[in-house]
A and B are shown apart, each in its own frame.
Chain A
Amino acid sequence: MPCDKREKRTLLRPRAGAPAPAARGAAEPSPVAPKPAAGDAAATASACPALPFAAPAPEPPLTVFHAPARCALGGNRRRTLAALIAAATVLVAVVVAGRILAPAAQATDFSQVNLAPCPAHPFGTDWMGRDMLARTLAGLATSVLVGLAAAVVSSLIALGLAAVAALGGHRADAAVSWLIDLVMGIPHIVLLILVSYALGRGAVGVTVGVAVTHWPSLARVLRAETLQLRAQPYLAHARALGVSRWRIFADHLVPYLLPQYVVGLVLMFPHAILHEASVTFLGFGLPPEQPAIGVILSEAMSYLTAGAWWLAVFPGLALLAVVLLFDRVGAGIRRLLDARTVQE
């Protein structure tokens, strides 16, 4: 029986003769004193919240409980969690498949050139007879790994700057704000071109470029959060008690910022992946021999007028799907971590 919201709000009131909620787990006639040896751990745990009420008590209890969500897919939060895990699994599968297929993505077969999508090659083949499905998956794997590096590095920069702004006084705060404004004042693509150029283009250039330019928006959010934290009485207490800045950072700031940080980290992926593909497409990123979505699409540019539509359409759609999946994961984590939506 799936439990919906309405059931959650009903009072749990045991009635004589009504099937007890824990009937599955505790079938013994004397559930008041359950023998610890009789019930195995799993059954006790699953029936645990409702167990005390399973007994035909003479009067209704005074305490009001929400009915626990019993079924595996019941409740929005569980469904969110399931969707989140499913999306994450697909992403991991894409990376693994891409890594495994990397040699196949390079294999050329000149007897099978420029094939339109068919059962043997669902995404078609290019002008060197390479299977586009393998190339796309390998490219996506590269993109996700670059995105991972970028998200981790950028979010750590953001966290560090937020901590400096929060704990370093007004001048540090002003400096951090100015730095954020400065980086946001240059269009992101132009900045990426500059950083990539500075590092001599290529794989290193694009990875570092994407990694060190995605922090401003998250830094701004985290800074705002730390400003709010600074106004809290318990922080003033800690300061008055002489707790060091480092301890305040580790004990108060990090736990306070963690939800925003994790969400920001995951939501950085889509941006990083799109920017990596864009910069590679422009010619500043990964070298042509490496399988990457940007490389595939920029090569497909020369075949657009020749009618080889599959070279551009499918890799682009696959990239879109990966970005959407990351977005789902981020949105799911936000819903699960945000205290305001706990009851939804």
Chain B
Amino acid sequence: MAQDNKNNSYGGAREQADARKASRRPARPPRLPWWARELVRFALLMAATSFVTFALVSLSPIDPVQANVGQAAYASMTPERRAEMAAYWGADTPLLERYAAWAAGALTGNLGLSLRFNAPVTEVIAQRAASSLALMATAWVLAGVIGLALGVAAGACRDRLPDRLVRAYCYLISATPTFWLAMVALMVFAVMLGWFPLGFSAPIGAAASSVTLADRAYHLVLPALVLSVTGVANIALHTREKVVDVLQSDYARFARTRGEGTWAVVRRHGLRNLVMPALTLQFASISEIFGGSVLVEQVFSYPGLGQAAVTAGLGGDAPLLVGIALASAALVFAGNLAANVLYGVVDPRVRGGASHAVR
């Protein structure tokens, strides 16, 4: 799994050896084509995620009726009206029954009705995902490119000034709360310097039809930058480790004895060997980028999936919360799958679905 590489700091090499060993285990079900296996895994993941989130949400003591109607309105309501509301929000049906009904709907693409936004969950998610994905994709690409460049530079200049600077930066950033960084950025660049807008994805008060693409891009810059700054640290540190490994290898030493300089070795031998781990890291970082986007969107009042998740959680909107959890799990899964497919494209040795064993 692509996410395994997150743990390199503890001793990834051993783990990889074990994973290879484990994949050779005889007790395997009859082999399906790799896409079918991925499909089964995806179905299992979706079923488990939806059930767990559904169960968690129903466990909640937060009464959706009270949370949404408001204390004052709830107190002045007649008992009949209350019962009607409770039936509308589905407060009295047992968990399994409700889940079965929900799952039957979900199979036909109906994830229920968002009580907070008063629209189908799929519609809310699709609308929110559009602006959220723009933000996350920008940050994701930026973080990947900058992280790779910094990591290569640090690894090639090991223990010299660039390396120290990059490591200090990564160390500091990985200890910084994302939302605080977003607040400081907002304070400095939007409030004090006035270079960027104070949030939202479009100018305040403008009609939706009059908002141009340039407006949206302008509102996207600062949140995306903050999000990418936090994503860089992990990628840069792991890339650095890998470059150091490559430069200590026999073939790198041989290349150097032939008279190639450090940069030539990195360019000709290092980068090719970096492609795979870099891909893994890049796609594994999707989960973190999503988590960061929840916080950054909240600070910048950016109307994306993350903000919708917070609204749903605070407002007791259970169907939307389940929908967003599913969407995020699907996104993370798609990232891992994309990494596995790309391995085959990049490296002929992993073609044909053996990508789980080799990283």
Contact residues of B with A, CB < 8 Å?
1, 3-4, 6-7, 10-11, 14-15, 18, 21-22, 25, 27, 44-45, 48-49, 52-53, 56-57, 59-62, 171-172, 175-180, 183-184, 186-187, 191, 198, 287-288, 290-291, 294-295, 298-299, 306, 309-310, 313-314, 321, 324-325, 328-329, 332-333
Contact = CB atoms under 8 A, between A and B. Distances in A.
Given A200-B60, A304-B187, A193 B321 contact: yes
Contacts of B324: 190
A117 to B, nearest CB: 15
Nearest to B62: A200
Given A190-B294, A193-B310, A217-B6, A278 B179 contact: yes
Contacts of B180: 297, 312, 316, 319-320
A257 to B, nearest CB: 12
B10 A264 contact: yes
B294 A316 contact: no
A181 B62 CA distance: 29
A341 interface: no
B191 A307 contact: yes
Contacts of A200: 60-62
A189 interface: yes
Contacts of B332: 185-187
Contact of B48 (A182, A184, A304): A182
13 contacts: A185-B332, A189-B291, A198-B59, A199-B60, A200-B61, A217-B6, A228-B14, A260-B11, A278-B295, A282-B310, A312-B183, A324-B171, A327-B175
A190 B6 contact: no
Contact of B178 (A221, A278, A305): A278
Nearest to B59: A198
Contacts of B186: 304
B191 A198 contact: no
Interface of A: 170, 173, 178, 181-182, 184-191, 193-201, 217, 220-221, 224-225, 227-228, 260, 263-264, 270, 274, 277-278, 281-284, 297, 300-301, 304-305, 307, 309, 312-313, 316, 319-320, 323-324, 327
Contact of A194 (B1, B14, B53): B53
B56 A185 contact: no
Contact of B191 (A170, A185, A305): A305
Contacts of B314: 283-284
A320 B171 CA distance: 11
A281 B291 contact: no
B317 to A, nearest CB: 10
B294 A224 contact: no
A275 to B, nearest CB: 9
Contacts of B288: 187
A182 B48 CA distance: 8
Query: When A and B form their complex, which 3 residue pairs have the shortest distance between CB atoms, in order from nearest?
Result: A316-B180, A198-B56, A224-B15
Contacts of A309: 187
B62 A319 contact: no
Given A189-B291, A224-B11, A283 B310 contact: yes
A249 B184 CA distance: 49
